[in-house]
């Protein structure tokens, strides 16, 4: 595919960078596919998160929930959209997803519950 669209000023190093970027994107997509919607037990925390959201009066918020079954759940509330609940087996993946959502929404912090 690279040979079909060869550019005159593109070097071998540029091709390597593009290949590495494509690989990183594919790995990220695969990790996200391995996550699953939050379990019923983790969804029991939704009422608590909803109460916090109502008290704060915020229309946009990102929460990390420590579920009792060892999963880490991320709850994303966005203005005029359905909330997103994603479960992760590892705290690092949950934190990365939460930080990405915080940046997407333009927020200052992620609330940990």
Domain of residue 87: give its range: 36-112
Hey, what are 27's tokens? 């790995």
Sheet containing strand 84-88, edge to edge, reads 36-37, 84-88, 72-77, 61-66, 111-112
Is 25 inside any structural domain? no
93 or 31: which leads in pLDDT? 93
Is 96 inside any structural domain? yes
Q: Does residue 14 carry a pLDDT above 70?
A: yes
Nearest to 75 by CA among 111, 106, 41: 111
Task: Say how many domains are in the chain.
Answer: 1
Mean pLDDT of the region 40-62: 63
pLDDT at 78: 82
Is 9 inside any structural domain? no
Is 61 inside any structural domain? yes
Task: Please report which confidence band the pLDDT of residue 7 belongs to, taking 50, 70 and 90 as the band edges.
Answer: low
Phi and psi, residue 65, nearest 5° = -110, 130
Q: Does residue 102 carry a pLDDT above 80?
A: yes
Is 87 inside any structural domain? yes
Is 17 inside any structural domain? no
Is 7 inside any structural domain? no
Nearest-angstrom CA–CA distance, 104 and 106: 6
Is 23 inside any structural domain? no
């Amino acid at each position: 595919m690279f040979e079909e669209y060869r550019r005159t000023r593109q070097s071998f190093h540029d091709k390597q960078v593009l290949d590495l970027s494509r690989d990183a994107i594919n790995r990220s997509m695969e990790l996200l596919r391995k996550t699953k919607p939050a379990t019923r037990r983790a969804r029991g925390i939704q009422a608590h998160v909803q109460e916090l959201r109502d008290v704060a009066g915020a229309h946009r918020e990102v929460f990390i929930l420590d579920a009792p079954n060892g999963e880490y759940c991320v709850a994303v509330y966005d203005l005029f959209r359905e909330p997103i609940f994603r479960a992760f087996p590892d705290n690092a993946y949950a934190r990365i997803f939460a930080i990405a959502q915080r940046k997407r929404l333009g927020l200052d912090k992620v609330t940990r519950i």
